Amino acid sequence: MPRLLERFPERPVWALFMFINGFVIIALLALTARLTHTPFVFPSLGPTAILFFVTPLSPTASPRNSICGHAIAIACGYGSLCLFGLQHTGPAMEEGVSSPRIFAVALSLAATGALMLLLRSAHPPAGATTMIISLGVITHPAHLLLMELAVAILVAQAIVMNRLAGVEYPLWRNPARPALDVPYLAPGREPR
């Protein structure tokens, strides 16, 4: 990357970097999904990939926040399904949006956001992950584990490719940035 950046304008080089990495990882995960007939690719991986390759030094793009954020989302999404007895029902798109589904979706998103803040693991794409589950799109427990595995594979690619490109992408958490990315707090203020 440093040689490309010396010869070409920065924005197109980074755009190409995003294009190649986004295409490669999502294509590989989609191919894995096709071969294994499992939901190895799901919508919230897209925004996660964009964070990794467009704003890799953002706290929300750190491996820790990504892995923990999606894990929290998966647990909250499935927990809300179980709480409202929806774990064995079909997706809301087929079954309709019942009162229990409304509460399950609302609870899953609220709990995911609150837990990510409490555990200092803010990762906005995880909001989509919890809704994918609480809306009943992906509900099989083994598939939920595959979702987290797909996130881990995406994180591994982000570490390798960003570091090869010369980006000081963290292996777990970005030490140069605050652990909690909350825009409404004054700089240097940590919530109690």
Q: How many domains does the chain have?
A: 1
In a domain, 182, yes or no: no
In a domain, 178, yes or no: no
In a domain, 186, yes or no: no
Rounded Cα–Cα distance for residues 102 and 123 (Å): 23
Rounded Cα–Cα distance for residues 126 and 132 (Å): 10
In a domain, 171, yes or no: no
Give the pLDDT score at 188.
52
For tokens 């964070």, the residue is 51
Instruction: Output the pTM of the full model.
Output: 0.88
In a domain, 172, yes or no: no
Q: What is the pLDDT of residues 163-172, one digit of tens each?
A: 999 999 999 9
Q: Which residues of the chain have pLDDT under 70?
A: 175-192
In a domain, 98, yes or no: yes
Q: 127 is in which domain, residue-wise?
A: 2-164
Q: Report which of 44, 12, 33, 9 is spatially closest to residue 134, judged by C-alpha positions.
A: 44
In a domain, 176, yes or no: no
- Give me the sign of the Cα torsion angle 129, 130, 136, 138: positive
